[in-house]
Every structure is written in C-alpha cells, then in structure tokens.
Amino acid sequence: MSKVEVIPVKTAVLTEQDNIIDVIKKYTANLVTKEDIICIAESVVAITQHRFTRPEELHISWQARLLRRFVPPEGSMSSLYGMQAAMNIEGKWKVLFSFLIGGIAKVCGKRGVWYSLCPQAALIDDVTGTMPPFDKCIVFGPKNPTQVANQIAQQIDCKGVCIADVNDLKRACIVGYSQGIDPTHMVALLRNNPFGNDSQTTPIVIIKNDISKTQI
C-alpha cells in the first residue's frame, strides 16, 4: 500500500492581482492527477479576493478595546486590530452579544459558540499572520470558500479541492471543500501544517495516494 504523500507546492508571491483558479492551474499542471486532492491556504484565497486591510485604516471602537482583553494572547482576536476587523465584517454589536453568549456557553461547558456565531473571528489573520508583503495587513477569511473549491475542482481533473485554515499549534479547519471531500479526514491529513506562508511561499498542497472513501 502506498503511503499518503503531502506535497507543498511553491508559488510566486500571490496578490489581489491574481486569479486563484489560474494560479492553481499554473502551479499544479504537471503535478496533480485525477486521484489527487488539492489543498489551498485560506489566507491566500482571501488575498486574491482583495479581502484584507491595513491596521491604520481601522477605526478602533470601545467595543473592540473591551472584548479583546478577554481573549487568550495567542489568538488574532487579542489584537485591537484583529478584533476591530472582525467587528467591521460581522458587525460590532453582533460580535459583542455573540461574545457574551459564548461566555455563558463556555461556563456551561460548551466551547466555540462565539466563533460559530461569528465565523470571521476565527478566520481573520492579524499582522504577521500570513506571507509578506501581507504580513503588515489584517487578512479576512475568504468569501464563498465552498463555491471557490467547487469552481477549482470543475476546472482541474482531480479527486477534489479543499480550502484550509491551519496553524503551527496543530489546529486545522476546513473552511470550504468540493463535492465528495470529507472535511474531517482532511483535518487529520493537514493537522501538522504542511503549508508555508512565510519565505517558503508554499500555500498549495497536493495530497497523493489517499485511498480513503470520499464523502457521499
């Protein structure tokens, strides 16, 4: 039985001038087969959709100043700019009340309620959170990631496509995936973060020899 291979694909620095479908075609053309799965870092998909802003463009509200004090320091939401960016996308009052609901749920033993109510709060990358030159920007989550994944899968003869948010703390989330892909299985394959969003510039990963059953 062949061992599953997880192959990072090096690209040029991708910007808002790039089309993500054209990028995938260009850099995977001679590497991917119809049995392979293409995985893409969610921050790069968002950048090509021009979903980013600079910290100096944000007006910091008192709600952001208050809430970020209650977020663990390793998260993007502990930053004034990260929290304000989430409020700009989701709405500041929605974020505030969802945070309160999430706090009550956490006391009752249920975690993750805030992020489920305000998913952009989980997807936003604060400054230094992605590859240069966008390491000086706040990068939002991608728009319509499942639609994007299906569009890529329709253009490329592969087993499937997923868009993933993965970090070096072994936390992985599949934010969008094409028909037939099992997101739980993909989390297990990507948990060790094979993406390189710094000088490696490997925001695309190809998974080969995966013989798991696809989701029906």
| Residue that terminates a domain, selected from 76, 108, 136 | 136
Q: Model-level pTM?
A: 0.84
Q: Which two tokens stand for residue 39?
A: 């995985």
Residues 60 and 109 in one domain: yes
Do the Cβ atoms of 183 and 160 come closer than 8 Å?
no
84, pLDDT greater than 90: yes
- Give dist(CA 43, CA 37) in Å, integer: 19
Instruction: Kindly state the average pLDDT of the residues 190-196.
Output: 81
Q: pLDDT tier at 104 (50, 70, 90 boundaries)?
A: very high
* 124 shares its domain with 145: no
Please, what is the average pLDDT of the chain? 88
Give the pLDDT confidence score for residue 74 in this predicted structure.
Answer: 74
What pLDDT shows up at residue 201? 80
Q: Where are the beta strands (DSSP E) in the chain?
A: 5-9, 37-41, 52-53, 138-139, 160-166, 172-177, 204-208
Q: Are 197 and 131 in contact (CB under 8 A)?
A: yes
d(CA 153, CA 193): 22
Count of structural domains, the chain = 2
| Boundaries of domain holding 124 | 51-136
Q: Indicate if 78 and 115 belong to the same structural domain.
A: yes
- pLDDT reported for residue 197: 60
Which of the two residues, 200 and 141, has the higher pLDDT score? 141
Work out the average pLDDT over 85-93. 92
**Which of 101, 136, 171 finishes a domain?**
136
Q: Is residue 43 part of a domain?
A: yes
> Quick one: 176 and 191 in the same domain?
yes
- 131 lies in the same domain as 170: no
